A and B are shown apart, each in its own frame.
Chain A
């Protein structure tokens, strides 16, 4: 047991957290950017699933992982447009649309799997490609630091770069300010001439792309196949991280980090004799406790007034 605990303080554990945390951060960014602009996207899970499936499919039929990645981006954008069109132009409830897209993704991905491979389980018999692993020259040879920051999947670095770019976009550019304004008070935004629908459309498209990339990470790196329901509620964790952090990207990221560590611990504990099904609930229990704590705090704040 003490071996187990000490293994949590090793560079390889940090690297593991980064590996399992990448799809979670994609999911959190997806939930965050949409909700920041005022259109909650709870279809993150479904878009991830489709991203994972189409990445495999497009790379298999084209023979190129990069073309597969382009396909993933297209899928993310299309699903985002569906969400945007129905919520903004057709005045549908974004929650209902989200639930519908999630269910659709769960079922339809299995059907596509069946049509493409003849099996409902995995795409193991499709010649899909994976995105490369990136070894950073020089750094990879430095002990500890090399283990931690070099040798990850390509999309991990994309994720980190995108997180930084997103933070800059939100906090340092006019468009970021406009997104925040649209989410906080669309009338106020409108009254100073901000085109609310356009801002929201762009935000939702970004959200779709993040989620789809999160899915592609799972099937084109982390694993090299798509398997039935492979996102395993990672999208919901992103939504929960958004719920905890609200409009504050730093808190959303840190919360995601906590969930990633929980997930990393789960991966480690899975190797022990402890019941894996219970271990698997640890990240969700963390989220639940976080959410409850948050609402109790806000309740106290309201009462104090």
Chain B
């Protein structure tokens, strides 16, 4: 049982832009085990998997497969040699049938033609063999997410994979589906397959794994047998024991603060699956409310339903007493909302436009910046220069394209624009993701300034440190619901939060209801 099938030795990956994704990673996979790799978002798990699967090339270090050093030139070679991967974003073609998807690229054929009957027979047989209850003649587009995942797994099995890498497989599954998947994985163990399970849901990892490797900041923090380690210890390893200093000293109390955001009974579902289930909370001026949670637990839908990027479905949202749920985006902004979106390159900027143009997009219609027809270029230029200066965006001129800036500076452009409308409510979604520490700290101070000046700030971040440092109050989301509310962060520890985030614990109804103010 304990013979090594795949071994990573001192794997280091440095991207051309200098980002170190992996540093001296050492992992040994044994044949027939379920080996979990856990770590926060951005810890370097995905990069590592891409290296094993030969999508990316390591900067240094060696990979041994079945005792021999390997140096695959592409994922095709990895597939041919028995390494399979189930990507987080499915590589499936919806209008093809299950059988077609499975055999694509390696079709059984009779002379020049595809032997579709044989393909159906073989795939159906494969599905039976591994107890997948699936009709292979169905179109993939009509399948549920968990069924699609089964198809992805079958694709690897069809190609005789011995090592199967599953990248966040449970992120898209319901608890019942997750259970079924786990039973499946157990069976693979019996058939001698090696499973690499990537996740940040700790209770699942504890349940399924034989061994667990923790990665933090691109480095391995040890491999443990699942039986030998406690949940608390694991949480600590993942998140890191040391909390950075809080920003408390910069925060000033705000007097007579009104309630500026009130969300009541917000619901949102996609294709009939509830993503946000009856969420209620409120924020006063001079307050930063943080939302903690593992990604994919409804935070994104919650924010987008409030800001209007997703159509509103059910519930009430008030900004400073005005109901905004029926409004379009422009009206919501007029009502006092500002929004730093999750993806600065998709929603947050037009990278091909100048910094100047990117700094005014959300308020260029206001009388200060434009008349009935014309824009007031002088005012806009001065304003852009002021914003570039105030937010220390590193650039030669306001006419430079945003795409020429670094990530941190692009994010400063977004924050500067959203700050400039003096919002009553600032919604900040992953405000510092993927940017340098200096810019991140700068943006944090801007958010605190807004808070000190009486704005309500709603902060969502996958970075737990960020949430803990900035927030005055905190809610934790798990599977579309609020599972915990902390009116003060004094004495709250990260491992305590971790238990809520990972769905291990749940506060009482009464405690959670306190996330909303009564007035």
Which residues on A sit within 8 Å (CB–CB) of B91?
185, 187-188, 191-192
Smallest CB separation, B144 vs chain A (Å): 16
Which residues on B sit within 8 Å (CB–CB) of A178?
104-105
B75 touches A191 (CB 8 A): yes
Residues 158-173 of A contacting B (Cβ, < 8 Å) = 168, 172-173
Which residues on B sit within 8 Å (CB–CB) of A188?
91-93, 104
A193 touches B105 (CB 8 A): yes
B93 touches A185 (CB 8 A): yes
Which residues on B sit within 8 Å (CB–CB) of A191?
75, 87, 91
Partner of B76, one of A176, A177, A184, A193: A193
B299 CB-CB contact with A under 8 Å: no
Residues 109-130 of B contacting A (Cβ, < 8 Å) = 109, 112-114, 116
A194 CB-CB contact with B under 8 Å: yes
A193 touches B112 (CB 8 A): no
A247 CB-CB contact with B under 8 Å: yes
Q: How many residues of A contact B (CB 8 A)?
A: 20
CB nearest neighbor in A for B112:
A173
A177 touches B114 (CB 8 A): yes
Partner of A184, one of B95, B106, B114, B155: B95
B105 touches A194 (CB 8 A): yes
B106 touches A177 (CB 8 A): no
A174 CB-CB contact with B under 8 Å: yes
A188 to B105, CA, bound (A): 10
Which residues on B sit within 8 Å (CB–CB) of A181?
93, 96, 104
CB nearest neighbor in A for B116:
A172
B329 CB-CB contact with A under 8 Å: no
Task: Given A172-B113, A172-B114, A193-B79, answer yes or no on A177-B107 (Cβ-Cβ < 8 Å).
Answer: yes
A189 to B107, CA, bound (A): 13
CB nearest neighbor in B for A187:
B91
Instruction: Decide if the interface of chain A is mainly helix, strand, loop or mixed.
Output: helix
Partner of B104, one of A187, A189, A247: A189
Task: Given A172-B114, A188-B91, answer yes or no on A180-B96 (Cβ-Cβ < 8 Å).
Answer: yes
Task: Given A184-B95, A185-B93, answer yes or no on A177-B104 (Cβ-Cβ < 8 Å).
Answer: yes
B301 CB-CB contact with A under 8 Å: no
Task: Given A193-B76, A193-B79, answer yes or no on A174-B107 (Cβ-Cβ < 8 Å).
Answer: yes
A149 to B116, CA, bound (A): 33
B100 CB-CB contact with A under 8 Å: yes
B105 touches A192 (CB 8 A): yes
CB nearest neighbor in B for A305:
B271
A247 touches B105 (CB 8 A): no
Which residues on B sit within 8 Å (CB–CB) of A247?
95
Smallest CB separation, B200 vs chain A (Å): 24
Which residues on A sit within 8 Å (CB–CB) of B76?
193
Instruction: Decide if the interface of chain B is mainly helix, strand, loop or mixed.
Output: loop
Q: Interface range on chain B: under 10, 10 to 19, 20 to 34, or 35 or more?
A: 20 to 34
Which residues on B sit within 8 Å (CB–CB) of A174?
107, 109, 114
A173 touches B113 (CB 8 A): yes
Which residues on B sit within 8 Å (CB–CB) of A187?
91
A194 to B109, CA, bound (A): 16
A194 touches B104 (CB 8 A): yes
Smallest CB separation, A4 vs chain B (Å): 43
Smallest CB separation, B85 vs chain A (Å): 9
A88 to B241, CA, bound (A): 51
A247 to B139, CA, bound (A): 15
Smallest CB separation, B255 vs chain A (Å): 48
Interface string of B87-102 (1 = CB under 8 A from A): 1000111111000100
CB nearest neighbor in B for A193:
B76
A174 to B94, CA, bound (A): 18
Which residues on B sit within 8 Å (CB–CB) of A194?
104-105
A191 to B105, CA, bound (A): 9
Q: Which of B76, B104, B271 has the most CB of A within 10 A?
A: B104
A185 to B271, CA, bound (A): 22
Interface string of B135-169 (1 = CB under 8 A from A): 00000000000000000000100000000000000
Which residues on B sit within 8 Å (CB–CB) of A305?
271
A192 touches B106 (CB 8 A): yes
A192 to B114, CA, bound (A): 17
Which residues on A sit within 8 Å (CB–CB) of B155?
192
Task: Given A174-B114, A193-B79, A194-B104, answer yes or no on A184-B109 (Cβ-Cβ < 8 Å).
Answer: no
CB nearest neighbor in A for B113:
A172
Residues 234-272 of B contacting A (Cβ, < 8 Å) = 271
Residues 95-112 of A contacting B (Cβ, < 8 Å) = none
Which residues on A sit within 8 Å (CB–CB) of B79?
192-193
Smallest CB separation, A245 vs chain B (Å): 14
B114 touches A173 (CB 8 A): yes
Interface string of B61-78 (1 = CB under 8 A from A): 000000000000001100
Smallest CB separation, A80 vs chain B (Å): 23
Smallest CB separation, A195 vs chain B (Å): 10
Q: Which of B94, B112, B155 has the most CB of A within 10 A?
A: B112
CB nearest neighbor in A for B89:
A187
Which residues on A sit within 8 Å (CB–CB) of B105?
178, 189, 192-194
CB nearest neighbor in A for B270:
A305
Smallest CB separation, A241 vs chain B (Å): 19
A6 to B173, CA, bound (A): 63
CB nearest neighbor in A for B94:
A184
A192 touches B104 (CB 8 A): yes
Residues 200-217 of A contacting B (Cβ, < 8 Å) = none
Smallest CB separation, B53 vs chain A (Å): 10
Which residues on A sit within 8 Å (CB–CB) of B96?
177, 180-181, 184
Smallest CB separation, A175 vs chain B (Å): 9
A178 to B114, CA, bound (A): 11
Residues 248-305 of A contacting B (Cβ, < 8 Å) = 305
Which residues on B sit within 8 Å (CB–CB) of A172?
113-114, 116
A176 to B94, CA, bound (A): 16
Q: Which of A174, A185, A189 has the most CB of B within 10 A?
A: A174
Q: Which of B79, B91, B106 has the most CB of A within 10 A?
A: B91
Smallest CB separation, A187 vs chain B (Å): 6
A173 to B100, CA, bound (A): 12
Smallest CB separation, A224 vs chain B (Å): 38
Which residues on A sit within 8 Å (CB–CB) of B106?
192-193
Which residues on B sit within 8 Å (CB–CB) of A192?
79, 91, 104-106, 155
5 interchain pairs, CB-CB under 8 A: A173-B114, A178-B104, A185-B93, A191-B91, A193-B105
Using a CB–CB cutoff of 8 Å, the interface residues on chain B facing chain A are 75-76, 79, 87, 91-96, 100, 104-107, 109, 112-114, 116, 155, 271
Given pairs A180-B93, A187-B91, A193-B76, 18 additional interface contacts (CB within 8 A): A172-B113, A173-B109, A173-B113, A173-B114, A177-B96, A177-B100, A177-B104, A184-B94, A184-B95, A184-B96, A188-B93, A189-B104, A191-B87, A192-B91, A192-B105, A192-B155, A193-B75, A193-B105
Task: Please list the 5 inter-chain residue pairs (A to B) with the smallest Cβ-Cβ separation, ordered nearest first.
Answer: A192-B105, A193-B76, A188-B91, A174-B107, A191-B91
